[in-house]
Chain A
Amino acid sequence: MHPVRKQRLQWILLILVATSIGIGLVVYTLRQNANYFYTPSQIASGVAPLGVALRAGGMVTKGSLHRIADSLEVSFDVSDGAARLRVHFTGILPDLFAEGQAAVVTGKLDDQSIMRATQVLAKHDENYMPPEVADAMLEAYKRPDERARVDEEPYYEP
């Protein structure tokens, strides 16, 4: 082979190997650090894995927020209208966190399907609902068999 061509071929091979290693590494890290979003209904039906970092969200059920005295521990429920998820969190809740408003939590599920949250995000604008929560609510609303239960949810009453 012509030496110039040989050199070129070596360069191309080197670049190919380097980029494939790079892309492989990126994809691997992405999969390691990607947090999947689950709706409370999905978690109730047991689809979500336990002990893996994930995100969940819905509306904070009215009257479900409890504080544990002398600490910063709180518990509350989030609901997509069809199922509820109990969340435990230690720390400071965001300013716009409120019962009857949308929230997205990040954390791990323990063996009793309680979310041990490490982060709580609340909406930060009156008209904004995180797209995941909006989709989850819509999906739960679409399922006809659960409509009746949705209407009984206390926070839907005025």
Chain B
Amino acid sequence: MSPEFGHVALIVGLCLAVIQSAVPMCGTYFGAPRWMHMGRSLALGHAVFVMLAFISLTAAFLTDDFSVRYVAQHSNSLLPTQYKVSAVWSAHEGSLLLWSLVLALWSAAVAVFSKTLPLVFVARVLSVLGMIAVGFGLFILLTSNPFERTLPFPPMDGSDLNPLLQDIGLILHPPFLYMGYVGLSVPFAFAIAALLGQQFDSAWARWCRPWINIAWVFLTVGITLGSWWAYYELGWGGWWFWDPVENASLMPWLTATALVHSVAATEKRGVFRSWTLLLAIFAFSLSLLGTFLVRSGVLTSVHAFASDPERGEFILLFLCLVIGSSFLLFALRGPAIRSRTGFSGVSRETLLLVNNLILITSTAMILLGTLYPLIADALDWGKISVGPPYFNFFFVPLSLLLLASLGVSVSSRWRHTDPSGLRQKIKLPLIASILLGVLLPVPMASWYDNSGYAPSAAVTLIFTFWVLGASLHDALIKTASGNLMKLPASYWGMLCAHCGIAICALGVGLSTIYGVQRDIRMDLGDSIILAGYRFEFRDIRQFNQPNYVATQAEFAVYVGGVLERTLSPEKRHYHAGGEVMTEAGIDAGLTRDLYVSLGEPLGSSSWSVRVQVKPFVRCIWLGGLLVALGGILATADKRYRRRRSPKQLFTGSSGRASYEK
């Protein structure tokens, strides 16, 4: 398939998106069911053509068609095949095409899995998704066409993919993250459709909930993968840098987390209706803002590659259009939405409100810190960067508050919880977590040859055990009285996700507090003792690979004189771009990682070396995956698969009573 074919497919896809954005929507105003029905087939057709465009770009990469400029810039004939495929989304043009493809796939999924929803509603949702697709389609075709050729003199060979990106992480991380980012467009479209139709009740929340959960799961996995990738691939053992682009993914995640919780309250109890709508709009706006920050290159960041200000302006315009129009719509229609039911001060609703408050405060704090350099630059206050201390100062206490409320919320009930019963329920986990948390750092201090008792470790452990203990305690109470299988999947999903958050917090806390790191100069034969492990620099040798030359060192790690592991960190010199890469030598373990990376050669046989022991660092990503698993379990709950007649769903009145327990 020639690149021109892909280009034409993209144009056809855009045309279909234009029709998709207009016709079903008009149909809802003129009451023309045929027009509304067109939405589904248009969405599928759009997906097919964008997919064809994507396939033809992939084909250009696989066949080494260096007359296509994008291929020439980001591939090389020596590149292994799997990286040729992933190189498609390694830079601006291709990642936008991936963005469009993912959006088209989500729209197609809505078209396929919306058979039970009222036609008017589906027509509106698909139209809104079509509008977003038009925006991004225009963006690709006008400012960043990946199919552009450099004729008549194409380069002989490509200038290679950035070696940092030649990794399994690049194959997985962007697609997952984009599935999450773009997936938030579905709840956004549902929210806009609800505002347009002024139909916003528990039924709406129930339709919306699986979509929110799935998008949120993808975003969770995407961020977790990104953090893990940075940890081993950047070569220096950091897993979160408070980099603007990381913040850009964390903000939609925090907002989507708030949305996941508030939509639960809306579904079960019919409360927080307008707030849920607003969160859906916020979450998607933040993911668009993320795209703007990443793609415009306005901020210095590890993700900032060569960029073009014109593209930034286009996304900024699009961002303003989307946010402006959706907030205007909300301002016009929002006040009509009223919650009918109330709740008492001690109830699950109140705790969910607290959860939302904390999550949104965290988002606002990160947003301010991320945009402050931009604001300062625009107002000529100087060129500023905001460092990690700012973010840690706010994020750590807010997270602890969140964990504290999380333990209580598991045992709480909807509408009203008896305070004395609640106190009784949480007493045991509270006492146990405080005892364990205070006592455990005593032996830990000696395990990690740290300087004495670490109060911060006690805090981490107390909060972790508190959430784990309260969750398990609640599960025990609930299973003791009845059949294990009677509890719905969504309950297990909630427990799993909450425990995941606690385990992630444990990893963050303990790896930061007890982690040790040393940058030293080592000659062949030297050793260093760190946290009870003796690292010996044993050997250094060179070997050739198709697209790079590697210098590989060998470090033997001894514990008490016994050989524990051999680590082989590498320094790679890539042929095509002349770049240098650090491949760390890592021995992964649930309770600790041993991490050695080579710096630079300092003379004949001596190197600068970074040696690290990182306790419990794996828990960070294990926790992230548990959170995602929790989301999957919650979505798999059978109540979302229960078939209802479209009429019942439309009025949304029949469902309510049965869902109030």
Interface residues of A (CB under 8 A from B): 22, 26, 29-30, 32-37, 55, 67, 70-72, 90-93, 95-96, 104, 106, 124-128, 130-132, 135
Contacts and interface: CB of A to CB of B under 8 A. Distances in A.
B297 A131 contact: yes
5 pairs of A and B residues whose beta carbons are closest in the complex: A37-B383, A92-B599, A33-B390, A127-B306, A95-B580
Interface of B: 159, 162, 164, 235-236, 297-298, 300, 302, 304-306, 361, 365, 368-369, 372-373, 376, 382-387, 389-390, 393-394, 519-521, 577, 579-582, 599-600, 602, 608, 610
B386 A33 contact: yes
Nearest to B298: A131
Contacts of A135: 383
A97 B384 CA distance: 22
B370 to A, nearest CB: 11
A131 B300 contact: yes
Contacts of A106: 387
A93 B385 contact: no
A124 B162 contact: yes
Given A33-B386, A37-B384, A55-B385, A71 B521 contact: yes
A37 B385 contact: yes
B306 A30 contact: no
B-side binding surface: helix, strand, loop or mixed? mixed
Contacts of A22: 361
A91 B518 CA distance: 9
Which of A33, A71, A135 has its CB near the most chain B CB atoms (within 10 A)?
Answer: A33
Contacts of A32: 389-390
Contacts of B610: 92
B608 A95 contact: no
Given A72-B521, A131-B300, A34 B599 contact: no
B305 A36 contact: no
Given A37-B384, A93-B599, A128-B304, A72 B393 contact: no
Nearest to B307: A128
13 contacts: A22-B361, A29-B393, A29-B394, A30-B368, A30-B369, A30-B372, A33-B389, A34-B385, A36-B383, A55-B385, A95-B579, A127-B306, A130-B300
B380 to A, nearest CB: 12
Contacts of A125: 162, 305-306
Nearest to B582: A95
A131 B577 CA distance: 22
Given A30-B372, A30-B390, A132-B300, A96 B306 contact: no
A22 B394 CA distance: 10
A34 B372 contact: yes
Contacts of A92: 236, 519, 599-600, 608, 610
Contacts of B306: 125, 127-128
B386 A36 contact: no
Nearest to A130: B300
A130 to B, nearest CB: 5
Contact of A95 (B298, B300, B382, B581): B581
B382 A96 contact: no
A154 B582 CA distance: 31
A29 B297 CA distance: 25
Contacts of B390: 29-30, 32-34
Nearest to B387: A33
A34 B386 contact: yes
A72 B386 contact: no
A71 to B, nearest CB: 6
A125 B300 CA distance: 13
A123 B298 CA distance: 15
A98 to B, nearest CB: 9
A30 to B, nearest CB: 6
Given A92-B519, A124-B164, 8 more contacts: A26-B365, A26-B368, A33-B386, A33-B393, A36-B382, A36-B383, A93-B599, A125-B162
A29 B235 CA distance: 31
Contacts of B599: 72, 92-93
B392 to A, nearest CB: 9
A70 B526 CA distance: 13
Contacts of A126: 159, 577, 579
Nearest to B300: A130
Contacts of B580: 95-96
A26 B393 CA distance: 10
Contact of B384 (A34, A67, A95, A96): A34
B521 A70 contact: yes
Contacts of B159: 126
Contacts of A35: 384-387
Nearest to B382: A36
B580 to A, nearest CB: 4
A67 B602 contact: yes
Nearest to B304: A128
B302 A124 contact: yes
Contacts of B383: 36-37, 55, 132, 135
Contacts of B394: 26, 29
